[in-house]
Structure formats: C-alpha cells, structure tokens
Structure 1
Amino acid sequence: MPKTQNFDPTELAKFSDLAHRWWDKDSEFRPLHEINPLRLDWIDGLVSLNGLRVLDVGCGGGILADSMARKGAAVLGIDLASKALKVAQLHALEAQTQGVEYREVSAEALAAEQPGSFDVVTCMEMLEHVPDPASVVNACAALVKPGGHVFFSTINRNAKAFLFAIVGAEYLLNMLPRGTHEYAKLIKPSELARYCRVVNLDFLETKGMEYNPLTRHYWLSADTGVNYLVATQKSQVA
C-alpha cells in the first residue's frame, strides 16, 4: 500500500499560519521570491518547460508553479496545506495565470493514481520538512515518465549548513521564522543520491545556492555545502 500520510502536522500548521503572506515579497517568503528566478531558469535551461506537463510537489502558495506555467508548461501544484493552496488558487485568478491548477493531495497518493504521467516533476524546499523524504523521492520517480526529469532542492546536513541555514538565516538575519528548519531533518547529498538511485533516478547535475547577506544576492555555484539543487532523469528501463 502506498504511504499517504507522510507529513508532519506541526510543519503543516507552521506554513498554514503564514499562508496569507505567500505573495508578499517583503514577508517571511521573501527568500523564495528572490531565489525563484534562479531555480526557474536552471530548470528551464536543462529541460525547456514550454509544452510539458509538470508536477510541483509541495507547491505551497504556488511561487514556482505559477512561474513554470508562465514558461508555457501545464502545471499541477500539489500540497497538503489547505490554506496555502487557496492562496495559490486566488493568486492564479488575480494574475490570470494560464495553465496552472492546484490540488490537495500527497505525492504518494497521486503516484498511486497517476503513475508515469508527467514530463517533469519538481520538489523544491520540501524534503527537509517531511518525516520520510525517501518516500517522497519514490513517489516523484513513480509520477514522472520514463526519460522524464525530476528536480529537487534541499539543505545539506553539516556544521556549515547549521551555521548558515539555521543560526544565520533564522536567528541572526531573521530571513526566516525561527524553527523553520530542524537540523536532524536536513539531508546530505549522498543520502539524496541513495534515495534516487534506488528508484532509478540518475543524477544529471548538482548545484549549490549561495547568498551574500550584505548585497542580498543569490547565485548558483559548485558549493553544495548548504543549499543545493539536484537534476535527475528517470531511467528508460527499470
């Protein structure tokens, strides 16, 4: 039986309480707005999104999903945070975004319902918030077509990540609410690679994302010590 309850109620409540601020670019979600052009261009540069069927797992208020639809993709955003989804739907109506839909369903449940249905699956800034990230990776692999692409982004687990992503971002710079991330839930690239390898997702490219707090500038690099992104491709033959 597929796992359909892979979520932490505390995490859902945390993001639901902030749902009305998703599209406020000066809110707690400012970092997501600022990194979105980077991650969008990186994805679209590896796999042109125009005309593709795309799934965004853990879409929240729809920042990435909306921007991928504007690149010409037919996007389904899924999440288990009801309030965030309502905000995403309202924004799509107000912004008149074409080609994006939202649904309250887990990745595992959708994988059982629609296996092999998407050209591209994205799962960004989400794996570190669930009890069983390997289950989500497995669902993403099941949802993408053979030869299709799955993109992840998450945070490394090491002393540098603790210092920069938790102490720095949450307690010193106040870029994120305190308690946004739990160190024990962070994921090493080697662990994510293992999850992917088991479900026939081949690593294509890994990028680090860095930030200068003085200039408030983000950029992609080869340093995966803190935030990192991974591009994978589903094997044609299992």
Structure 2
Amino acid sequence: MPPSRGPQALRSALRLTANLPRRRIQQQPYIPTTLRHHTTTTFPNSSQPPPNSNSSSQNSSIDPTEITHFNALASSWWDPHGPSRLLHLMNPLRHEFIARCRSSVPCSPVPSEQKLRYLDIGCGGGIFAESAARLPHTSSVTAIDPTPEVLRIAEGHKRRDPLLMTPGRLTYKNISIEGLAVPETETEKYDIVSVFEVLEHVSSPAPFLEQVMKQVKPGGWLVLSTIARTWTSWVVTNVVAEDVLGIVPKGTHEWSKYVNEGELREWFARQEGWGGQGGMRTMGVMYVPGLGWKEVTGSEGWGNYFFGVRRDEL
C-alpha cells in the first residue's frame, strides 16, 4: 500500500467493516435504535418481538458467545497480572465514582451513616462485589452473573474471607437480570445497582437497562461503566489492547455494541422519575500503561467512562 494512501485506505476499510460513514459519527452520531426510540420492551417499527423475548427465558439480553468467552477466562479471573488485570486496576475508581454520585445531591440520612444494599449485575469473578461487601457501610451485596464457570471461581474465592462468609453479606446467583425477582416493596430494592463493563456485551441495551432500573430504590443510584463508540475507542480497545499489546483477551470487545455517553444521557432523560435534581453524572477515564486508570476530563466522549443516574425520591 503506498504510504500516501494509507489513511484513506484505512478509513475505507473501517467504513466497510462497520457499515457506518465516518462523517455520521463526527456530525450526527449514530444512536442504536434500541436506545434512540425505545420506551417499552419491544422493538420500534417492527411487528417482531426482540430476540429471546419469551418471559420464560432468562437470557433475553445475553449473547451466548459472550458466556462462552468469559467461561474460558474463568480460571484466571483473580490473577492480578492475567487477562482481568485491567478490571483489578479499575476497581478503586468504581468506588470513587459511587462516592461522588452519592455526595452530589442532598441525601438523608448522611451517606456515611447509611447502610447500603448493593446489587452487582454481571459480577464476573467478584472483584467489585467482594470489595463492596468489605466496606463498613455495606449491609449486603447480591451479585449475579449468567456465566457458570466464572461464578464457581467467585464462590471459591469468597470462601477465603470469613467476613464474606457471614450470612447475607455476599450472595452470588447464577442468573441473568431477567431472571432476578423484583423486590415486592420499594424499601426492599437496592441503594446501589452496579453494571460495570457489561453494557458493551449485551445485544439490546434499552430492554436490559429497563430490567436493571426495576431493582433501584427511590433515591438509589444505577452506576455503570462502558465504552464510547468512536474510531478512537475502536483503535484503542480492538486494535491496540487486543491485537498489538495483548493486555485484553482477543474477542472481548465488539465495537458495534459500544454506547456513547450522549446516547445514555438522552435515553435516561426521557425516563420519568430518573436523573432529577442533578442526579446524573459522568466520569471519563483512560488506562495509562505503567500508571493504571486515570480520570481524564472529556474522555467520556471518545473512550471509557463511568455513568451514574439516580432514581428520584417518591
């Protein structure tokens, strides 16, 4: 390939791969149909139900290939230098972001004095779930994941800590969000519902988020981390991280499933009873080799980011 034509050829290849014009991303960002118009659990402008929409199925938002992929990584989940290394390094920022969210709006009782109930969705081997369960202000942590091999690793690691074996402190369930019962009363719902590094692995974001929202109590927070769908994120996560450096297992990310921060913000703004009184926050982060994850203002527009939205008080 002649050097002078390299950039143009690369752009052409990317257009063919993603079936998405570059100009559309820069000037008029593509918004997945399920997030742009979605208000119910059926697809708009279609007489067909969403995939796996049968109420008896527990896997309506789950891609079977994702389960296979993460099952294969199960044994290395707790290796701080293994394939899950970036998740271990990100964990402190997860707690920092939750603390910022909870202190950003008036809250009663005082956040530091309230005992919190957590629901960790897509918990994997339990990196965040375990750390949340050890916090002094935690009442309980329920952690769910549809990947059986990963949950076996989580259960085994939990047994190493007597605190985590305290009845009700940390409970793992091999189940998807669709199969998790919704608490009967508002007070039985969760103060913090976390969805870390999960949204980019589900096939239909809006139906998935609607199920998640049912678990949040009034005044509680839904917090998540995911990746913006930009050319920069494609190069960083799919090319550099997976193919060049090998710091992320190959096949972990599918660029077309990434969700932009603006899309999430717009979608939640249309959900009645969510994000009022400033209850919507974002924090952009970037992985710096040798230094770990760092907050980078504005990076939510092109790379990894945290997003939090509060359910309004009744």
Shift of 1:146: 1.3
Q: Does 1:4 align with 2:77?
A: no
The one-character-per-residue Cα deviations of 1:141-180 (angstroms, maximum 9, x if unpaired) are 1100111111011000011111112211111111101111
d(CA) in 1 for partners of 2:181, 2:99: 24
Give the superposition deviation at 1:45.
4.1
Q: Deviations over 1:87-142 (max 9, x none)?
A: 11111111334321100121122254657411110001001101112122111211
Match of 1:88 among 154, 163, 174: 154
Matching residue's letter, 1:150: L
Is 1:164–2:220 an aligned residue pair? Answer: no
Q: Which moved more, 1:217-226 or 1:71-80?
A: 217-226
What corresponds to 2:129 in structure 1? 65
The equivalent residue for 2:72 is 17
Is it true that 1:132 corresponds to 2:204 in the alignment?
yes
Residue 55 (str. 1) matches residue 119 (str. 2): yes
Give the conservation status (yes or no) of the 8 Å contact 2:66–2:201. yes
Superposed, which structure 2 residues align to 1:28-39 within 5 Å? 28-39=83-94
| Alpha-carbon distance, 1:194 to partner | 3.5
- Computed over aligned residues only, the root mean square deviation of the Cα atoms, in angstroms, reads 1.9
- The Cα of 1:204 is off from its aligned counterpart by 2.0
Is the contact made by 1:111 and 1:139 (CA closer than 8 Å) also made in structure 2?
Answer: no
Check if 1:206 corresponds to 2:282.
yes
In structure 1, the partner of 2:218 is 146
- Name whichever structure is richer in strand by fraction: 1
- The whole-number CA distance in structure 2 between the counterparts of 1:32 and 1:77 is 16
Q: Secondary structure at the match of 1:94?
A: coil
Structure 2: runs of 5 or more not aligned: 1-53, 103-110
The more displaced of 107-116 and 2-11 is 107-116
Deviation at 1:236, TM superposition (A): 2.6
Match of residue 295 from structure 2: 220
Provide the rounded CA distance (Å) in 2 between the counterparts of 1:65 and 1:152: 14
Write the distance in 1 (CA, Å) between the matches of 2:262 and 2:92: 26
Change in 2 beyond 3 A, CA 1:168/1:28: same
Aligned to 2:143: 77
8 A contact 1:137–1:196 mirrored in 2: no
Q: 1:68, CA displacement in angstroms?
A: 0.6
Aligned residues of 1:206 and 1:230 also touching (Cα < 8 A): yes
Q: Is the 8 A contact 1:24 1:30 kept in 2?
A: yes
Does 100-109 or 122-131 show the bigger shift?
Answer: 100-109
SS in 1 for 2:307: strand
SS in structure 2 of the partner of residue 61 of structure 1: coil
Moved over 6 A (4+): none
**1: distance between equivalents of 2:214 and 2:231?**
33
Aligned to 1:122, what secondary structure does the other structure show?
A: strand
Q: Supply the AA of the counterpart residue of 1:16.
A: N
Which letter maps to 2:192? V
Q: TM-score when scaled to structure 2? A: 0.70
CA distance, structure 2, for counterparts of residue 153 and residue 111 of structure 1: 24
Partner of 2:180: 110
Deviates more, 1:161-170 or 1:51-60: 161-170
Distance 1:182 1:53, change over 3 A: same
- The residue aligned with 1:234 is 311
Q: Is contact 1:141-1:201 (8 Å) kept? A: no
- The alignment's TM-score, normalised by the length of structure 1, stands at 0.92
Q: Structure 1 residues 193, 46: closer, same or farther in 2, change over 3 A?
A: closer
